[in-house]
Structures are given as C-alpha cells and as structure tokens.
Structure 1
Amino acid sequence: MTDLKFEVNATWSGVGVHGEGDLKMADKTVLYSSPAEMGGKSVGVSPEDLLIGAVTTCYSGTLFAILTKRRLPVENLSVRAEGIVTGFPPQTNFSKLIVYPTIIGGDSSKQDEYEKAATIARDKCFIGKSIAGNIDYQVGKVQL
C-alpha cells in the first residue's frame, strides 16, 4: 500500500470572527472567513462550507461509481448538502450533515435500489467516514 500526502497552506490575519485568510490547495487559492451567521466577515467560504464541500464531493463521486457498478441508469447526478451547527455561540458544535442526491437519467421504477446505493455511498466515501461518530451523517430523500 502507498501512503499519499496532501498539503494545503493557510494564512490568516485578524482576531477571531473579524479575521480572514486564504487557503492554497494545489494551484488554487480560496478566500475564507467566519460566516456572517456567526458574526464573521463572510469573505469567501467558511470552514463549515469547506467541511460540507469535502464530504459532498467525495460522496458524489462514490455514488456515481456505485450506480455505474450496479448498472443503475444514470446520466449524471447532483448533490445538495446541508450542515447543521447547534449550540451557537456558547457551545458551538457541527452536529449534522445531510446529503440530498438527485439522479439525472434515473429509472423511477428502481427508486429503492437508488436509495440503497445512496446509503452505501455514504458508508463507503472515505471522507464521509472520517466524520462518522462525530457528526450525524445522513442521506436525505433521493430524487430522480
């Protein structure tokens, strides 16, 4: 087995929610700050967005692979995701992440099979598995 290394570099200036930073990933730079809902500057994306995005991108690729392997009709898919933060501000906790897949080009007579595939993808996506036990990670209604 080979170990893979991924590296990002972040810079930050400012105190707490009043600061902002940039995150360098591969050849891209992403601006980030605390979200407005938490009193932040809302510059670029938030750490919450990045967490939701990491899980969602892994989940979408995993789901597409599972649908293809199971020979379920799919042209492409989209995934809407939402994260729930509770206890703000005294005991802020990222408590839940829900993915809502939409299968484009799916066969509605196989709804149950798509729902099973969606749950399997949640359980197999290695980024999603990284949050298991810490965040309630769910699959919402699968749309066709």
Structure 2
Amino acid sequence: MKHTFQMNLDWTGGRNDVGTIEAERLKTQISIPPEMDGPGIGTNPDEMLLGAAATCYIITLAAMLGRSELPHSGITIDAEGIVDVTNGVFTYETIRYTTRINVPTDATDRDITLVERIAKKAKDGCMISRALAGNVTFELSTTVTRVD
C-alpha cells in the first residue's frame, strides 16, 4: 500500500518575499529565516525539516512504547537542528533530541532500560530519520524519570 501526500506552494517575488504552503492539515506562510538574512515570516524549510523529523520520532516512540505495553505518563522532546554554512553553502548537519520520558514510580530498572532502548530504536526507525540517513546525523539524549 502506498500513501500520497500533497502540498500546494505559492511564491510571488524574489528571495526576501513571502510565500504560502497549504496541505490538507497545514496552511502557513513561508520565508527565509532571519538567521539566513531573510524576513523571518511564517516558517521555513529548516524548521519544517526539524518538525517533520521530531514529530515522526515522538509519534514512533509513543507507538513503540504502547506496543511494548511499557506504561509512561508523558514524553517531552526538545529538538534542535544544526545547519552549517561553508562557502555560502547551507548544509543541514545534525538533529539533536533531548528526550524526557516519565514512567510510573513502580517501574523496574529493567523497564527503564527497555524504555531507553525503545527511545533509540524509535529515533533510528522513524520514517523521516530513515529518509535522511546518511545525510543528517541524529543525536539522542534520553532521561527516564519515575513520577507519581
């Protein structure tokens, strides 16, 4: 089975103008970010790539934890994208995830080890991570905390 996703884009003007993107569940303005001497209106490809990777990761992680029947009471991720500029060429180098997963106070050490292992597996197994493999490095720091 194959799935098709579509997006319509519109851009009028030059480098520092503003365009729009519209998909079934997403509609926003786009422009070059201020870090790259653009107007910074709406979102940009760098944020969207980071967002695609991070949302894929958190959804994959939640699904894998659910399938493993390991209880958790929340996942939070701080995601960071690192872009290098060398000789005027922009290269998306690294995506870093700082992941925090809360588990029940009665979680065993074995449960915590399994949650950490699943976090790594989800990072590597996410569809977007696989699509970017070999081009972007993924780094992961995971903290599992017992909470009431």
Supply the distance in 1 between the matched residues of 2:108 and 2:10 (Cα, whole angstroms). Answer: 48
Gaps of 5+ in 2: none
SS at match of 2:142: coil
Question: Normalized against structure 1, the TM-score is what?
Answer: 0.88
Stretches of 4+ moved more than 6 A in 1? none
2:137 corresponds to which residue?
A: 136
* Larger of the two Rg values belongs to structure: 2
Q: Is the 8 A contact 2:46 2:81 kept in 1?
A: yes
Q: Is the 8 A contact 2:94 2:137 kept in 1?
A: yes
Q: Which amino acid aligns with 1:57?
A: T
Q: Which structure has more strand as a fraction of its residues? A: 2
Q: Is the 8 A contact 2:115 2:144 kept in 1?
A: no
Number of equivalent positions: 142
Supply the distance in 2 between the matched residues of 1:143 and 1:89 (Cα, whole angstroms). Answer: 41
RMSD: 1.8
Question: Normalized against structure 2, the TM-score is what?
Answer: 0.86
The alpha carbon displacement at 1:115 in A equals: 1.9
Supply the distance in 2 between the matched residues of 1:84 and 1:92 (Cα, whole angstroms). Answer: 10
Q: Which amino acid aligns with 1:138?
A: E
The alpha carbon displacement at 1:121 in A equals: 0.1
The 10-residue stretch of structure 1 (111-120 or 34-43) with the greater mean CA deviation from structure 2: 111-120
The alpha carbon displacement at 1:140 in A equals: 2.2
Q: Identity across aligned pairs (percent)?
A: 27
2:14 corresponds to which residue?
A: 15
